[in-house]
Each structure stands twice: as structure tokens, then as C-alpha cells.
Amino acid sequence: MKDVVMHYCPGCTHGIAHRLVGEVIDELGIAAKTIGISPVGCAVFAYNYFNVDFQQAAHGRAPAVATGIKRVLPDRVVFSYQGDGDLASIGTAEIVHAAARGEKITVVFINNAVYGMTSGQMAPTTLLGQVTTTTPGGRDPSRAGYPIRIAEMLATLDGAAYIARVSLHNPANVARARRAILKAFKVQMLDLGFSLVEVLSICPTNWGLAPQASLKWVEEMMIPTFTLGELKSPAEVG
């Protein structure tokens, strides 16, 4: 990681997620051969924080960009870092097909149930009843459909080798998240296929909640819809 001040809002857990990815890259000793892809959304500036080569991708297209890089440089480690607007909405096709092809890339998917950078509109992951700037009366499934469970959806695909959902709402879960991200990178390095870790994250600014209350909201409101755990894990990585 670079020693710079991050732009994220106070209380946001992007910083923790970044730190975990950085620690994993260092633990594996792969910084010199890692290429990251940042999304459109809050994490667009991820390239300012990781001291590795980076490409910035158009909204939702990070898995396609990652595919291009990895096919040219199969011995490098390629990861994308994407939010839910980017990955679960505009980039649904790219993520589904990268997983289906079994692209040997790692995706860190930050799910905070809202569009962050564009100021709090409904995301595909927004919970039923959740108030956002475009669901002022709460998300009503008759008008706005249902939340997408990306991890479960991708786990059905044969090309997906490792799929897990973790959360950052308390220290024990942060430790679990770190182990999952480590595993996801190892899966790529063993050429086992596509790996994705969905990370439940908080957005105090757009949720209109204090950070502590946001962490509690993840536990009480998000986890019942987005169950934590490993949905798919190859035997090779234990």
C-alpha cells in the first residue's frame, strides 16, 4: 500500500478491504507481478493506494479488462476491485461470463447495498424496503424487483472455482474476510479458475447512519439476505 490519505468517507470500510487485499499481496509476495483493475464508483481511485500496476476500467467492464490482461500475461496475478453498482448492475454480463469462462482472475466485490459515488441510488443489491434516493418509499419489489445474490448466482457456474461471501462488521469477520481473500488469490495462482470474494461493506454517508449503527445494520439487516460463508471452494486450497 502507498502511504497516502484515502478519499473514502469517514467510517467507510473500503479502507479495511483495501488493507486486507494489500496484506494478502504482501503475504504471497506477488506485488511485482500483480496487476489490479479499478472500477467506476467509489473505488475508482484504488490505483492511488496499491503500489502495484493498475488499469482503470469503464463501468462494469473490469472482468473483461482483467481477461485481456490475464490472457496476455498468464503468469501474472490479476485482480479487479468492484462495487455493487459496477459489478451487479451495469457489469452483470462481464462478471457472469468471466466466471463462466473460468478466467483465472480474482474479484473483490464490495457490496454495500447502494450506489455510493453517485450519491445513494438503488443498487441491484439494495434490500427490500431499503430507502435510497431512487426508492424513497423503500425498495418495493413490485416496482424495483429483488436484490441479486451475486455469490450464489456465480457459484452455479462451472468455471467459478472459489466463491465466498464475507463481512467487515466486526474484527472476527474481518479476519475471516482476510482468509477468504488470501484463498481467492491462491486459487488464481494455482490456475484453478475464477475466484470471487463478496465483501459486505458499509456506506454510512448514503445509509444516513453513524458508522457503529451501520455495522449493526449489516449484521441485522444485510446478513439475513446475504448469507456469509464459502459457497464454493476447491479441495486444493483447503
Partner 1 sequence: MKGNEAVGEAAVRAGCRYFFGYPITPQNEIPEYMSRRLPAVGGVFLQAESEVAAINMVYGAAGAGARVMTSSSGPGISLKSEGISYIAAAELPCVIVNMVRGGPGLGSIQPAQSDYFQATKGGGHGDYRLVVLAPASVQEMVDLVMDAFDVADEYRNPVMIMGDGILGQMMEPVEFKERPFSAPREKPWATTGANGRAANLINSLYIDPEVLEKHNLHLAEKYRTISGKEVRYEVVDPGDSEYFLVAYGTTSRICRSVMQKARETGIRAGLIRPITLWPFPYKALEEATRRAKGFLTVEMSCGQMVEDVRLAVCGRAPVRFYGRTGGMIPQPQAILEQLVSLVEGGV
Region of 47-55, 172-180, 188-196, 213-221 interacting with partner 1 (CB under 8 A): 47-55
Residue with grid cell 452455479, as numbered in its chain: 156
Question: Which of 64, 127, 150, 228: binder of partner 1 (CB under 8 A)?
Answer: 64
Residue 56's alpha-carbon distances to 15, 48, 94, 137, 140, in angstroms, are: 18, 11, 15, 35, 34
Find the Cα–Cα–Cα–Cα dihedral 14, 217, 163, 59, rounded to 10°: -50
Question: Which of 16, 28, 55, 134: binder of partner 1 (CB under 8 A)?
Answer: 55
Helix (H, G, I), strand (E, B) or coil at 140: coil
Residues in the chain: 238
If binding is defined by CB under 8 A, does position 196 make contact with partner 1? Answer: no
Per-residue contact track with partner 1, 4 to 43, x per CB under 8 A? ---------------------------xxxxx-x------
Cell output for 153: 448466482
Find the Cα–Cα–Cα–Cα dihedral 216, 219, 222, 224, rounded to 10°: -140
Region of 10-18, 65-73, 146-154, 166-174 interacting with partner 1 (CB under 8 A): 65-73
CB nearer to partner 1: give 38 or 111: 38
Residue 148's alpha-carbon distances to 6, 33, 63, 103, 155, in angstroms, are: 29, 33, 18, 22, 13
Minimum distance from CB of 47 to partner 1 (Å)?
5
Residues that bind partner 1 (rule: CB under 8 A) add up to a total of 33
What does the angle CA 234 – CA 235 – CA 238 come to, to the nearest 5 degrees? 105
If binding is defined by CB under 8 A, does position 118 make contact with partner 1? Answer: no
Minimum distance from CB of 94 to partner 1 (Å)?
5
Minimum distance from CB of 160 to partner 1 (Å)?
15
CB nearer to partner 1: give 55 or 118: 55
Question: Which residues in 14-136 belong to E strands, given as ranges?
Answer: 34-38, 53-56, 77-83, 106-111
Question: Which of 12, 25, 66, 151: binder of partner 1 (CB under 8 A)?
Answer: 66
Q: What is the DSSP letter of 120?
A: S
Residue with grid cell 503475504, as numbered in its chain: 27
Minimum distance from CB of 42 to partner 1 (Å)?
13
Determine how many CB atoms are found less than 10 A away from the CB of residue 119: 11
Minimum distance from CB of 87 to partner 1 (Å)?
14
If binding is defined by CB under 8 A, does position 97 make contact with partner 1? Answer: yes
User: In the complex, which residues of this chain contact partner 1 (CB under 8 A)?
Assistant: 31-35, 37, 44, 47, 50-58, 61, 64-73, 76, 93-94, 96-97
